[in-house]
Amino acid sequence: MNISIVIPLFNEEESLPELHDRIKQVMDANGYSYEIIFVDDGSKDGSWNVIENLASKNQCIKAIKFRRNYGKSPGLYIGFDAAQGDVVITMDADLQDSPDEIPELYNMIKSGEYDLVSGWKQKRFDNTFTKNIPSKLYNGTTRLMSGIKLHDMNCGLKAYRKEVIKSIEVYGEMHRFIPVLAKNAGFNRIGEKVVQHQARKYGVSKFGWDRFINGFLDLMTITFLSKFGKRPMHFFGLVGTLMFVIGFGAVIYLGLDKFYHAFIIHKAARLLTDRPSFYIALTTMVLGTMLFLAGFIAELILRNSPDRNNYLLEKKINL
C-alpha cells in the first residue's frame, strides 16, 4: 500500500464528507493505493454516523471510535498502530489542511531524502494574538531546545516513512513534538514543506490557551526523557548528591565555627539552632536525600511500568 492517511477527529461531522471527497479525488488522480484511517475521539455529534456512511461507499476507509474523549495524541497513536502504508500522512479533519499537498509530501518521503516532512503554514488565517504570536513563541522555544529547525512544529499535516511511526510512542499530549520524538529515535532526516493553510469552514477550534502551558511542560518532559529517560538516576542522583554534599559541608562548617569560637578563642557563640544558615543547610541535605531517593523510585517505575497507551475502543470499521 502506498499511503495511509491518519485523521484524528472530534465533533467534525460537517467537514468529513467534503474532506473524504477531496482525498479520494487526489488518490484516484494519482493512482495511489491507500487507506483513510479516521480515529473518532469520542465525538458527541454525528461524526461516527457520517464515517459509517462514507465507509459503506469506500472500502478504503477504516475507522476507530474511542469510548470517550482521550485527546489527539492517543488518536494518532491508535492510527499509527493500524497504518499499513509505506508513507503515513497525518492531517486534521477541519479542512484547514489541504489534501492537494499529499502527492508532493509523498514524493519527498519516497525519494529517500527524508524520514519525516512537516508542513509549514507560512501564511495563516488564524487570530494573530490568540494563535499566530503564541505559535511563533512556541516554535522558537522548541527549535532552541530541540535543535530541530522547523518553522511549524505543531502543523497537523505531516508525512512519515512507515518505520518512523512504528518506532515512536505518542502519548499524553506529545503530538506537538513528534519531530523531537523521531529525532530521539534516530530519524534525523527531518524536512519541511510550505503548505496551504485554509480558513476554518465548519465548527470551532477544540484547543484553548491551556495548550501553551501544557506544550511547554511536555517539551520539558521530552527534553528530560531524551537525555535521562533510560537513566533517571544519573539526573536525580547527581543533583541529590550535590545538594547533600553542599548541605553537609555547610553543617560541618557551622559546627567547626562554633567549636572555634567556644573552645579556641573562648568567645560566646550562638547555638547552631539559632542560626538561619543551619536550617538552610539542613533543608539542602533533606532535599538532596529526597532527590536521590526519587532517582531510585524512577528506576523502579521505569523497569516495572505497564503499557501507558491503553484506551477503551467502542467501535471499529474494516479493522
How far apart, in whole angstroms, are the C-alpha atoms of residue 87 and residue 89?
7
Residue 38 has pLDDT above 80, yes or no: yes
Q: Which residue has the higher pLDDT, 220 or 23?
A: 23
Residues 135, 267 within the same domain: no
The proportion of the chain whose per-residue pLDDT surpasses 90, expressed as a percent, equals 47
Q: With respect to residue 311, please indicate whether it lies within any of the assigned structural domains.
A: no
Q: What cell does 174 get?
A: 506529545
Three-state DSSP class for 317? strand
Residues 201, 258 within the same domain: no
Q: With respect to residue 314, please indicate whether it lies within any of the assigned structural domains.
A: no
Strands 158-161 and 87-90, bridge-based pairing: antiparallel
Q: With respect to residue 309, please indicate whether it lies within any of the assigned structural domains.
A: no
Residues 192, 131 within the same domain: yes
Phi, psi dihedral angles at 131 (to 5 degrees): -130, -50
Tell me the average pLDDT across 24-30: 97
Domain that holds residue 66: 3-228
Q: With respect to residue 90, please indicate whether it lies within any of the assigned structural domains.
A: yes
Range with lowest mean pLDDT among 1-10, 54-63, 232-241 = 232-241
Q: With respect to residue 287, please indicate whether it lies within any of the assigned structural domains.
A: yes
Residues 186, 174 within the same domain: yes
pTM: 0.73
Residues 214, 244 within the same domain: no
Q: With respect to residue 142, please indicate whether it lies within any of the assigned structural domains.
A: yes
Helices and strands (H, E) in the chain, number of each type: 10, 8
> If pLDDT is split at 50, 70 and 90, which confidence band does 12 have?
very high
pLDDT in tens, 237-292: 777 788 788 888 887 877 787 676 665 555 554 555 556 676 777 787 777 777 76
> If pLDDT is split at 50, 70 and 90, which confidence band does 196 have?
confident
Residue 17 has pLDDT above 60, yes or no: yes
Instruction: Indicate the average pLDDT of the chain.
Output: 82
Residues 263, 206 within the same domain: no
Residues 205, 253 within the same domain: no
Strands 190-194 and 158-161, bridge-based pairing: unpaired
Q: In sequence order, what DSSP letters do the residues of 33-51 get, joined into one string?
A: -EEEEEEE-S-SSSHHHHH
For 27, counting Cβ atoms within 10 Å of its Cβ (0-12 exposed, 13-18 middle, 19+ buried), the class is buried
Residue 56 has pLDDT above 90, yes or no: yes
Q: In whole angstroms, what separates CA 30 from the centre of its chain? A: 32
Tell me the average pLDDT across 58-75: 95
Q: With respect to residue 147, please indicate whether it lies within any of the assigned structural domains.
A: yes
Q: Which residue has the higher pLDDT, 139 or 109?
A: 109
Residue 198 has pLDDT above 80, yes or no: no
CA distances from 197 to 67, 103, 108, 158 (A): 31, 16, 19, 13
Residue 118 has pLDDT above 70, yes or no: yes
> If pLDDT is split at 50, 70 and 90, which confidence band does 296 have?
low
| Domain final position from 192, 211, 228 | 228
The total domain count for the chain is 2
Q: What residue type is assigned to position 304 of the chain?
A: N
Q: Which CATH number characterizes residue 76's domain?
A: 3.90.550.10
Model pLDDT, residue 289? 76
Residues 148, 284 within the same domain: no
Residues 186, 256 within the same domain: no
| Domain final position from 191, 211, 228 | 228
pLDDT in tens, 215-236: 666 666 666 666 666 666 667 6
| Domain final position from 184, 213, 228 | 228
How many Cβ atoms from other residues are within 10 Å of residue 105's Cβ? 23
Residues 46, 160 within the same domain: yes
Please choose, from the candidates 96, 9, 94, 19, the residue with its C-alpha nearest in 3D space to the C-alpha of residue 58.
19
Range with lowest mean pLDDT among 100-104, 216-220, 296-300 = 296-300
User: Which range scores top for mean pLDDT: 72-81, 115-124, 224-233?
Assistant: 72-81
Residues 170, 299 within the same domain: no
Tell me the average pLDDT across 101-106: 97
Strands 87-90 and 3-9, bridge-based pairing: parallel
Residues 240, 219 within the same domain: no
Q: With respect to residue 256, please indicate whether it lies within any of the assigned structural domains.
A: yes
Model pLDDT, residue 175? 86
Model pLDDT, residue 218? 67
